[in-house]
Structure 1
Amino acid sequence: MKNFLKLFLVVILISTVSFNVIREEDNDYPFQNPSLSIEARVNDLVSRLTLEEKVAQMLNSAPAIPRLNIPSYDWWNEVLHGVARTPYKVTVFPQAIGMAATFDTTSLHQMADYSALEGRAVYNKAVKEGKSGQRYMGLTYWTPNINIFRDPRWGRGQETYGEDPYLTAMLGRAFVHGLQGNDPKYLKAAACAKHYAVHSGPEPLRHVFDAQASDYDLWDTYLPAFEELVVNAKVAGVMCAYNAFRKQPCCGSDVLMQDILRNQWQFTGYVTSDCWAIDDFFKNHKTHPDAASASADAVIHGTDIDCGTDAYKSLVQAVKEGKITERQIDVSVKRLFTIRFRLGMFDPATMVKYAQTPESVLESEPHRAHTLKMARQSIVLLKNQKNVLPLKKNLKEIAVIGPNADNAIAVLGNYNGIPSKIVTALQGIKDKVGDKVKVVYERATTFTKDTLLVYADVTKQYSLEGQPGIRAEYFNNKELSGTPVITRMETSVDHDWQEGEIVVSDMKAYNFSARYTTDFTANETGEIAFEVEGDDGYRFLVDGKEQINAWTRNRWGARNYKLQTEKGKTYRLVVEYYQAEGKAGIKLRAGNFKKTDFKALANRVKSADAIVFVGGISPQLEGEEMKVNEPGFNGGDRTSILLPSVQTELMKALKATGKPVIFVMMTGSAIAAPWEAENIPAIVNAWYGGQSAGTAIADVLFGDYNPAGRLPVTFYKSDKDLPDFNDYTMDNRTYRYFKGTPQWAFGYGLSYTTFQYDQLNIPANAKVNSTVTVSVRVTNTGKMDGDEVVQLYLSRQQPSFKAPLRALKGFKRIFLKQGESKLVTFELRPQDTAVILEDGTEKYLPGAITVSVGGSQPDAATRASKKTAEGVLQLAEQ
């Protein structure tokens, strides 16, 4: 009887459990069962959603579905060179263009792996704190940017891996593999190849621009990197671009989205629009009458997420009007939930190894060591006349001059996180030489002007209603409306926030505004300048009159107003500020403008044993659709690639001292510096080198690291070398088609040692459409250990078809001790020796191909000095 009762109870229990699995009111569904396949779980989940719920999941900020225990999720996150825009402190690696200069897929893979770990730690922390649905907390990263940097004027070129399709493809593949991990079931994080496709400026036109490219250029230049990431690297996501291509918005392109991406490449991952790109369909491109038509067309073409707007909300209307079917919407929603399931978001944390990632990985020692390694690897030695470098460490005095010498913003690039410590070039040099060497520093100029605002501390002159300081009012909206969340007195206006960081109370740093009010009492009669710097929008009022209006959204940078003062008089100052998204910051500073006397400055530093000028440009000038009011820049792009003339004039004065001048250039794009190339004895390109940039610069300058970075872009001599920016044909663009002589070529970079190449081995009986093995011996013939970047170029010039002048098809970064030799082997894939026909098709043809292997592109000098080994590959029919 007891056994019967036990059996009866077990049966009842099993029946109850089984019933609970299918009872909707108990929220126990097949999609929650980890033992089922992801496909089965996704199909079950989507089948339970209403049309309205499905559509809501197709916005980047997908709301929770409480009845099914589906948490909210924001797809928008960035990891360009380390986790970006998170409120937590993270490791910041060199900007993407700098990482490309390393020519090291292993380092880039490791960087992506470390970044994914930090991203997991951020996500795990967000889940723990109930913030997992917030922007920049998720695991879907909209990186890498694998657009081809076809024109150095493009401000976002710094986010890319340069101008070459092969280099971009190989580095992009390494990034995707590192970020997504190798677990057979779960993604470590989800990468996203952007901006698909034929997208590289101009920034001010990107919402209306119609890019035209031939089939040849499309398949020879613009698509190879995307094909590599989609077909071979299995990237999780793709972002379609703002611009149109052949009169159709990229996110609704028959050619790009349907024919190539979904049909030819069989891409099954998710596609997100670039943010606000769906609105461009009907607001800017004018290809669609309204949001419903645009949204339906985008989804039909395979765009699963509408980022930045709520245009996709009109899909409910579009279904009712017959513009699209609910089944077509199901396809997109299933793709989206498939990614979330692959990230382990619906499984117990104990099942997902990445969910165990601890917070301690953030800025961990291995990560900090790797960002320093990559900063060192990225530095390109462009010139070293009479071995000015490396500098001796027993100097008595060194002068460090220039607008980037102590600029922490420049080293971080754009799309960046914030580390606990940033080392500028000035700090790096100070740390290197210690107290025994006198270091003299002067900023001297802005990037474009010889007049500086010399800041003064006027905080003691601020008061309001009998209280010292500034009254700060913070509003939980962008309109400064309603009752402030908090009102308090502050000593100054000097704030920087990452999006989502706490501003005050529980108010987070997005979609908020602030008003700062104080009375300024003048100490003297004369003039004082007030500078306001903010992101996104701000206004500055004096005695109720608006003096600065930078309220329209976009990165405005700094503006100033000169106030004529009377001693003892009080002036009411008001700064109004709002932030929508992205990084936030608002500053109010005061001081007086002072013009720098270059001759006097040179006279002050002539006692130095060496002068290091740290100039170039900055992400404060070049970047994404930004407001810049400086000569030579427009909307984030550059109108001239020349180094701003004020920097050249200053270097002329410094050179006149007779002391060695070293030009350390920071930039995200190619700079033409003809006078410097001719007259400055040593030039170093340091890019935007990340949080340890200054340490890496000092290591190279003083010889503790032997530079081996290579240029991932062509450095032209002048603006005259450049075709029309709006022209997307590749004729006379990049090293592959440029017929002129550059200042410094793609792949160029010097070392403190020398290398020679010999014993090039090319198979005698190679066949078309087959793998070809090429090897070469490389020897360090100099007096210093160091890295060498071995580069293999192919040149196949036949009048019957179009081809690049030469094309990179292999590279390896190796380390060689003094006197050491290594055999380096390359495996050329069939597509590496194929040709692209005018219609874009790939064809395998017999014939002779010149193979050049060396530390740079081949020329007469490298051949004569044995820095290049060259031979002919003769391909025969199968």
Structure 2
Amino acid sequence: MILNKIFPLCIFLTLLSCSQDGKKNENMNLSMEKRAESLVSQMTLDEKVSQMSYESPAIEHLGIPAHNWWNECLHGVARAGLATVFPQAIGMAAMWDRDQMFEVANAISDEARAKHHQFAKNGKRGIYQGLTFWTPNVNIFRDPRWGRGMETYGEDPYLTGELGVQFIKGLQGDDENYYKVIATAKHFVVHSGPEAERHSFNATPSQYDMLNTYSPQFKKVIQEGGVYSVMCAYNSYNGLPCCGNKSLSNLLREEWGFKGYIVSDCWAINDFFMPEAHAVTTSKQEAAAMAVKAGTDLNCGDSYVALVEAVKNGLISEAELDVSVQRLLLARLKLGLLAPEGVVKYEKIPYDVVDSEMHRLLALQTARKSIVLLKNEGKLLPLDKSIQKIAVIGSNANDLEVLLGNYNGYPSSPVTPLEGIKQKLPNAEVKYAIGCKLAEGLPIFEAIPASVLFTDKTCATNGLSAEYFNNSKCEGTPIHSRIDLNVDFVWHTKAPYEDLAYDSFSVRWNGVLKVQESGEYALGGEGFLGMKLFFEDSLLVERSNVHHPRKEYEYVHLEANKPYPIKLEYIQDNVEHAMMRLLWEKPNKNLAEEAIAIAKESDVVIFCMGISPLLEGEEMKVKVEGFAHGDRLDIKLPKTQTALMKEIKKLGKPMVLVLLNGSALAINWENENIPAIVEAWYPGQAGGTAIADVLFGDYNPAGRLPLTFYKSVDDIPAYSDYDMRGKTYRYFNGEALYDFGFGLSYSDFTYSKLTIVDQIAPGDCLEVSVLLTNNSDVDGEEVVQCYASNPQAGGVNPNRSLVEFQRVMLKAGESKTINFSIDADQLTVVDEQFREIVMAGELKISVGGAQASAERIKERKVLTKTIHVEGAACVMDK
């Protein structure tokens, strides 16, 4: 009995030691699991509950520092100021390159570690400053209308899983004891829109679809990638919200062996009791208890504060909370956040890796690799560098927003397509015109100029009266006052004045707006955290407590020469990127005329068209026809753009179309009428340079589509239908505009000597080899793709599935033998008992630079062979 009483006390006394900064830390001789258990045993109920919310406060008596679990790094460290910005996730998927995915993630996690240690050194442990990152998004991009599809790796579970594994490994590092950062696979499970219904939608996929499409990539990133965090989705799955669905956490932990923690999507637990959402509970206490009982350890939101009362009221036991808190403390221990200084090797990563020359080059290389050449009639591309007059036309030609996508950081020197072309041909005459709105109803924003801004109604002095406050509330006496000619500020991590903290200040501008032409104007702004724009003493637009900038606006009618009072307030509060821009769109009826005029004088016309993160994204307010809540209602290129290109085609000029977008587009007229088309996605900070490199032949494109480009939205089932039949290349029976896996090159590749055994036994690996030859005089890369199809599979099984791929570089005239070893579990189908089996009978294999088609087979771009699987079917333990 005495020993039993003394032993816990010994653990308590030896648990704590002092690090170099004087903080208490755990005894390094204990296992991390024991340390987590001991720390939790010393917490009060209130302290335990405090650690289960994303804003976890410090527990001083245990030496536990504050930690904010919310951080993002989808394609670069996001929302934390300066960072290298790589292509959006869908663009990285288009590389079909495992090694490059790892290198990108490794660079991102270097910057993440360096930033975190700099923040912590300065006592900053807030949002977007920690080491737990809510990426990657490995949901399946099952429908092109989904606005968040750009965050994914496309429509194929195998490609998604393979790329996700490498991204996670690059993020989490290779240390035996400590994670570099913790990655989060999201959103579990069956989550891909519609955005407007995500808080109430109940997904009821068939077991065929769950096994074939919605779950394999999650299982892969857990079992092969070792991802240590999973985010549960907003939607319900088979009648229960995902974050309150015990069957899903059982699948993760008991069947797949997941060892980490589960975090809710943000404010998803509130959906449990909100009447307009899932409404499966009646109170916050019940919702919080339900989520924890279902295995959701961490809450992004404010629901888990109710757990204290939930325990007192018997809705959940404190012992059940202990399980989650231990998991969360163990994660922090595995990051070294409670370790003595100098123990974790990642602490040594210097801050100068952020935006380093090496990372900028990696961003350029990644952008190049992501570009897909969709059409090159008459080998118009690459363009001759001796061209003297170039017309660059389109809203996406000189727009920073389309470089960055969403969930992005802020690069130091971004290059738009227009700038990239100018830099490529410094001696050519490059003229630019917007030509048309990206979509009818979406303003073409620019900073409101000083010529129409005045300090008061006398209109005697241009500019706005500005007051700068050393707080984040525009309160008290300003410490600086001045006249700003206009509001077009991107301060980054430098405050407007040295005596202001860059992450905690506010500004108020007052004055009047007086225009020379009557008409409809869009008025708005773009601020990183919070802004309010008042027009004629009434609030016109507001954006508050949002940690990423997005343009907000309203249309107003302005009379010429009438002074309109305006007031703009900007709040900067604990974020790492300061910016405020007062924007407008003025009436302009001459957009098309300007574009036609410069096209007439040009030797070649380069269109930069597509869509924008202002139109597609996460649950966003969009006031444009054809778009809703961040999703698309149609997949056509907006008609404003096609109409302009039709007019310019009449000039008979050589034309190139560069698309910048995050999802598939039905560009039927463009495909028939424009000789060269390039898909560039949202290409990151170096996108303009990469596009120019491809257009003018300094880089040979080799990207391949990670999703199907359909001809019409009418070719696919309803967006809200989660049945996979008719969607993605695996189930689509129609004729696509561009197939999954499609992409052209400036080189000419052919395939020969396909070698596959005639038969295998169920459960055997399949060995495949093929000879790839570059028959051109241009060095280039090819993405070799291997597909399998099982003609006798019943149920709802895919028509064909990608089972292997490899991106290969070949010099001009070179040949290489490409070898694949395909695991048996890649050859399975789902039988009527919902077992994953390798069936006996025929198995069709195709190998080449695309999916098998009569044309590709004739050109020897794809080789096929039917083999036999002999013997009894083999049930695979997948």
TM-score normalised to structure 2 length: 0.92
In the aligned structure 2, how far is the partner of 1:337 from the partner of 1:716? 47
> What is the aligned-residue RMSD (CA, Å)?
2.8
Which residue of the partner structure matches residue 163 of structure 2? Answer: 171
In the aligned structure 1, how far is the partner of 2:703 from the partner of 2:755? 26
Structure 2 counterpart of 1:400, one-letter code = V
Structure 2 counterpart of 1:328, one-letter code = E
Structure 2 counterpart of 1:116, one-letter code = S
**Among candidates 129, 144, 147, match of residue 155 of structure 1:** 147
SS of match in other structure, 2:455: strand
What are the Cα deviations for residues 328-357 of structure 1, in whole angstroms up to 9, with x where unaligned?
111111111111111111112311110111
What are the Cα deviations for residues 763-818 of structure 1, in whole angstroms up to 9, with x where unaligned?
23421122221111111112211000000000111164432111001000000011
**Among candidates 253, 264, 269, match of residue 278 of structure 1:** 269
Structure 2 counterpart of 1:876, one-letter code = E
Structure 2 counterpart of 1:587, one-letter code = R
Which residue of the partner structure matches residue 836 of structure 2? Answer: 842
What are the Cα deviations for residues 544-581 of structure 1, in whole angstroms up to 9, with x where unaligned?
34555778989553334232133xx6442123456899
- Is the aligned partner of 1:442 residue 2:436? no
User: Is contact 1:557-1:627 (8 Å) kept?
Assistant: no
**Among candidates 443, 450, 454, match of residue 458 of structure 1:** 450
Structure 2 counterpart of 1:753, one-letter code = S
Which residue of the partner structure matches residue 394 of structure 1? Answer: 386
User: Is contact 2:455-2:510 (8 Å) kept?
Assistant: no
| Aligned counterparts, 1:365-444, within 5 A | 365-434=357-426, 436-444=427-435
Report the alpha carbon displacement of residue 196 of structure 1 after superposing the two structures with TM: 0.4
Q: 1:78 to 1:23 in 2, by over 3 A?
A: closer
User: Is contact 1:103-1:710 (8 Å) kept?
Assistant: yes
In the aligned structure 1, how far is the partner of 2:705 from the partner of 2:653? 28
| Aligned counterparts, 1:716-731, within 5 A | 716-731=710-725
SS of match in other structure, 1:488: strand
Report the alpha carbon displacement of residue 208 of structure 1 after superposing the two structures with TM: 1.2
User: Is contact 1:213-1:728 (8 Å) kept?
Assistant: yes
Which residue of the partner structure matches residue 123 of structure 1? Answer: 116
Q: 1:540 to 1:113 in 2, by over 3 A?
A: closer
Q: 1:461 to 1:495 in 2, by over 3 A?
A: closer
**Among candidates 806, 812, 829, match of residue 812 of structure 1:** 806
In the aligned structure 2, how far is the partner of 1:255 from the partner of 1:760? 44
**Among candidates 693, 696, 700, match of residue 690 of structure 2:** 696
Which residue of the partner structure matches residue 303 of structure 1? Answer: 296
Structure 1 counterpart of 2:450, one-letter code = V
SS of match in other structure, 1:716: coil
Q: 1:25 to 1:602 in 2, by over 3 A?
A: closer
SS of match in other structure, 1:613: strand
SS of match in other structure, 1:761: strand
Report the alpha carbon displacement of residue 490 of structure 1 after superposing the two structures with TM: 4.7
Which residue of the partner structure matches residue 213 of structure 1? Answer: 205
Which residue of the partner structure matches residue 3 of structure 2? Answer: none
User: Is contact 1:795-1:850 (8 Å) kept?
Assistant: yes
What are the Cα deviations for residues 698-718 of structure 1, in whole angstroms up to 9, with x where unaligned?
000001111010000100001
User: Is contact 1:736-1:807 (8 Å) kept?
Assistant: yes
**Among candidates 660, 669, 675, match of residue 663 of structure 2:** 669
In the aligned structure 2, how far is the partner of 1:586 from the partner of 1:620? 17
Which residue of the partner structure matches residue 9 of structure 1? Answer: none
Report the alpha carbon displacement of residue 440 of structure 1 after superposing the two structures with TM: 0.7
Identity percentage over the alignment? 44
| Aligned counterparts, 1:583-732, within 5 A | 586-589=580-583, 592-596=586-590, 598=592, 601-732=595-726
User: Is contact 1:632-1:638 (8 Å) kept?
Assistant: yes
| Aligned counterparts, 1:509-524, within 5 A | 515-520=508-513, 522=514
| Aligned counterparts, 1:533-552, within 5 A | 533-534=525-526, 539-546=532-539
User: Is contact 1:20-1:26 (8 Å) kept?
Assistant: no
Report the alpha carbon displacement of residue 846 of structure 1 after superposing the two structures with TM: 1.5
User: Is contact 1:278-1:311 (8 Å) kept?
Assistant: yes
Which residue of the partner structure matches residue 257 of structure 2? Answer: 266
SS of match in other structure, 1:594: coil
Report the alpha carbon displacement of residue 254 of structure 1 after superposing the two structures with TM: 2.8
SS of match in other structure, 1:294: helix
In the aligned structure 1, how far is the partner of 2:430 from the partner of 2:851? 39
Which residue of the partner structure matches residue 785 of structure 1? Answer: 779
In the aligned structure 1, how far is the partner of 2:225 from the partner of 2:28? 26
Report the alpha carbon displacement of residue 267 of structure 1 after superposing the two structures with TM: 1.4
Q: 1:176 to 1:431 in 2, by over 3 A?
A: same
Which residue of the partner structure matches residue 112 of structure 1? Answer: 105
Q: 1:38 to 1:608 in 2, by over 3 A?
A: same
Q: 1:76 to 1:539 in 2, by over 3 A?
A: closer
Report the alpha carbon displacement of residue 538 of structure 1 after superposing the two structures with TM: 5.2
Q: 1:856 to 1:695 in 2, by over 3 A?
A: same
**Among candidates 35, 44, 47, match of residue 50 of structure 1:** 44
What are the Cα deviations for residues 448-505 of structure 1, in whole angstroms up to 9, with x where unaligned?
1398577663257422599864234567998x6853675633512234577x986876
SS of match in other structure, 2:342: helix
In the aligned structure 2, how far is the partner of 1:323 from the partner of 1:125? 42
Q: 1:26 to 1:452 in 2, by over 3 A?
A: closer
Which residue of the partner structure matches residue 13 of structure 1? Answer: none
> Where does structure 1 lack aligned partners over 5 or more consecutive residues?
1-16
In the aligned structure 2, how far is the partner of 1:70 from the partner of 1:870? 60
- Farther-moved stretch of structure 1 (580-589 vs 101-110): 580-589
| Aligned counterparts, 1:731-746, within 5 A | 731-746=725-740
User: Is contact 2:134-2:183 (8 Å) kept?
Assistant: yes
SS of match in other structure, 1:383: strand
In the aligned structure 2, how far is the partner of 1:664 from the partner of 1:846? 47
In the aligned structure 1, how far is the partner of 2:715 from the partner of 2:659? 21
Which residue of the partner structure matches residue 815 of structure 2? Answer: 821
Structure 1 counterpart of 2:632, one-letter code = R
User: Is contact 1:471-1:488 (8 Å) kept?
Assistant: yes
- Farther-moved stretch of structure 1 (650-659 vs 610-619): 650-659
User: Is contact 1:22-1:29 (8 Å) kept?
Assistant: no
Q: 1:322 to 1:105 in 2, by over 3 A?
A: same
In the aligned structure 2, how far is the partner of 1:635 from the partner of 1:375? 28
**Among candidates 176, 185, 191, match of residue 193 of structure 1:** 185
What are the Cα deviations for residues 55-108 of structure 1, in whole angstroms up to 9, with x where unaligned?
000000100011222110001001100111112x11110000000000000000
In the aligned structure 2, how far is the partner of 1:400 from the partner of 1:136? 37
In the alignment of these two chains, the number of paired residues is 851
- Farther-moved stretch of structure 1 (693-702 vs 41-50): 41-50
SS of match in other structure, 1:333: helix
Q: 1:875 to 1:46 in 2, by over 3 A?
A: same
Structure 2 counterpart of 1:676, one-letter code = E
Report the alpha carbon displacement of residue 840 of structure 1 after superposing the two structures with TM: 3.7
Report the alpha carbon displacement of residue 20 of structure 1 after superposing the two structures with TM: 10
